[in-house]
Amino acid sequence: MANNEATGAVDRATDSPLFEKAARAGHVVSGLLHLLIAYIIFRIAFGSGGNADQSGALATVTDKPGGKLVLWIAAVAFVAMALWRIAEMIIGPHPSEPDSGQDNSSDKSELFDRAKAAGLAILYFAFAYSAVQFAVGSGKSSGKQNAGLSAKLMENTAGKALLIVVGLIIIAIGGYHVYKGVTKKFLEDLKTSGSSVVTPLGVAGYTAKGLVLVGAGILVIVATINSDPSKATGIDGAVKTLGEAPFGQFLLVLAGLGIAAYGLYCFAMARYARM
């Protein structure tokens, strides 16, 4: 009975237009962050410094007039999106749609959707926490934090095994992004069948972001094998390693364009995403 009451309360909450708009704002903020990351990648490609990850993007916002207010707004939007994902975890995907409770998908597909919603909820809560940290002046480089945590885990065999598992998970997530981009599966997440603008942005964005994530996962595994935590810095490390490759500048420009495409696609999701 209690479970049914909780599910009913969540179902009613997702009927709120205000809640849905707040959650959609999370896509807008995500889009802006990806555009800032793309900007940082371009700067790295042409010889300037910066951290090409979420912390670098948030630090860029902090330094601008009114930046702290923007960060607080971003945190609220991320929390709203996280709560929406929790609702999807409880009552299934797209809870605002009238037929959301009549999904004919298989049990495995439904379990995957709920697990994905749970993972995204954790991710958006983490984004919100980072935004708050930068807003109050205590934000830190996520790359340095990742390297520090990796160094501690590399001190024993169990920790190294965990890092390898994490690396494999990141590779799997990246591979899923590439799959969604190449096969245009992302269109299933939209209320529209795509367009001459939205579809190319989705293909390029998902594919580029996926490849960067795959690179980050590989670096985690290689760093663990070589006991070199300085290489396990996440997306920033993957981007900078890409820049050290032959034709690195050209590859960085391509990566920046792809991440920018994903950022623009996020704006399309803010309007057209099924929720």
Other C-beta atoms lying within 10 Å of the C-beta of residue 69: 11
Task: Specify the pLDDT at position 140.
Answer: 84
| Res. 1: pLDDT tops 60 | no
Residue 6's pLDDT band (cuts 50, 70, 90): low
Q: Where are the domains of the chain?
A: 2-272
| Res. 4: pLDDT tops 70 | no
| Res. 245: pLDDT tops 60 | yes
Task: Specify the pLDDT at position 112.
Answer: 84
Mean pLDDT of the chain: 89
pLDDT in tens, 172-192: 999 999 999 999 999 999 998
Tokens of 52: 């090409």
Task: Specify the pLDDT at position 109.
Answer: 79
Report the candidate in 68, 66, 74 with the shortest Cα–Cα distance to residue 32.
74
Q: Which residue has the tokens 């902090």?
A: 62
Burial class, 15, CB count within 10 angstroms (exposed 0-12 / middle 13-18 / buried 19+): exposed
Cβ proximity of 237 and 228 under 8 Å: no
Cβ proximity of 195 and 265 under 8 Å: no
Residue 100's pLDDT band (cuts 50, 70, 90): low
**CA-to-CA distance for 117 and 102, rounded, in angstroms?**
18
